[in-house]
Copies of this chain bind each other. A is one copy, B any other.
Amino acid sequence: MESRKLEEVCDKCKENCCSRCFDDGEDSIFNCLTTDELELLVKEKRHIHFKAGETILKQNTSASHVVCVKRGLAKILAEGNGDKKLILRLVASHSILTGGGLFIDEIRHFTIQAVTAVDCCFIDSDKIYELVSRNSQFAFELLKLNNRQNMEMLNNLVGITQKYMPGRVSDLLLYLKNKIFQTNPFDTRLSRQELADMTSMTMESFIRILKEFKLAGIISVEGTTIHILDEEALNLISRKG
């Protein structure tokens, strides 16, 4: 679980990581930055590689950095009392992770963990603060990003508190296909326990619902790869609760 730094300060990685990373995402919040500002952002940032399973940032530690996921898949989880966890959402390539204590108490309110191998950048929070005060468009983009992420999270949690298990599993499967992987047979790389933790239910219960869906011909499952055969059925189950 220990994080290893492969490249400390990446001087030459700018062209193959930083600027590119901030270029190709057409809806990147960094698009509005000037060359100077990008330079500032990039200057002291560190490029770090994590292996699958490693903890990128731990809940309740200081939130002095913002993380930018360049490659790979990570999960965001809230750790409760005992060993209860709730996986709030997944984070795919080219996502920036704000929120969670940034601007407030400088404390991480959730843990970020690598699902697959993850390449990411750590950016000093101070840089973000400075850019907010320099560039109002950037502040605007950040507010937008923040609100969007939070609305998604909220809708998700409302679903979890209001729906029965089949509805929650449907929502999860649709989320994975449409929001995260965007292909149809998709390999989640997530254990049954992790999938269960995304729906706030027991692993056993999750497996049972999955089996029902398989028997009903709605999905087919092969290890961690899921194939949605009847998306309409999932939509229906999702709506019915």
- Min CB distance A32 to B, Å, is 11
- Min CB distance A110 to B, Å, is 8
- A selection of 25 A-B contacts at a CB cut-off of 8 Å is A81-B240, A84-B241, A86-B161, A86-B162, A99-B150, A99-B151, A103-B140, A103-B147, A104-B144, A104-B147, A104-B151, A129-B140, A132-B136, A132-B140, A136-B136, A139-B139, A139-B140, A139-B143, A143-B143, A146-B146, A150-B150, A157-B157, A157-B158, A157-B160, A157-B161
Closest to A199 in B: B161
A contact set with B: CB distance below 8 Å = 78, 80-82, 84, 86, 88, 99-104, 109, 129, 132-134, 136-137, 139-140, 142-144, 146-148, 150-151, 153-155, 157-163, 200, 239-241
Chain multiplicity (copies): 2
* A150 partner residues in chain B, CB cutoff 8 A: 99, 146, 150, 153
Closest to A155 in B: B109
* A200 partner residues in chain B, CB cutoff 8 A: 161-162
Contact A139 B132 (CB under 8 A): yes
* A153 partner residues in chain B, CB cutoff 8 A: 150, 154
Tell me what chain A mostly uses at the interface: helix, strand, loop, or mixed. helix
Q: Which residue of B84, B154, B157 contacts A109 across the interface (Cβ within 8 Å)?
A: B154
Q: How far is the CA of A161 from the CA of B86 in the complex (A)?
A: 8
Known A-B contacts A103-B144, A104-B147, A132-B139; A81 and B157 likewise in contact (beta carbons under 8 Å): no
- Min CB distance A155 to B, Å, is 7
Contact B134 A99 (CB under 8 A): no
Contact A101 B147 (CB under 8 A): yes
* A158 partner residues in chain B, CB cutoff 8 A: 78, 80, 86, 157
- Min CB distance A108 to B, Å, is 11
- Min CB distance A203 to B, Å, is 15
* A163 partner residues in chain B, CB cutoff 8 A: 80
Closest to A85 in B: B162
Q: How far is the CA of A62 from the CA of B136 in the complex (A)?
A: 25
Q: Which residue of B84, B140, B162 contacts A80 across the interface (Cβ within 8 Å)?
A: B162
Contact B81 A241 (CB under 8 A): yes
Known A-B contacts A109-B154, A143-B142, A151-B109; A160 and B161 likewise in contact (beta carbons under 8 Å): yes
- Min CB distance A195 to B, Å, is 15
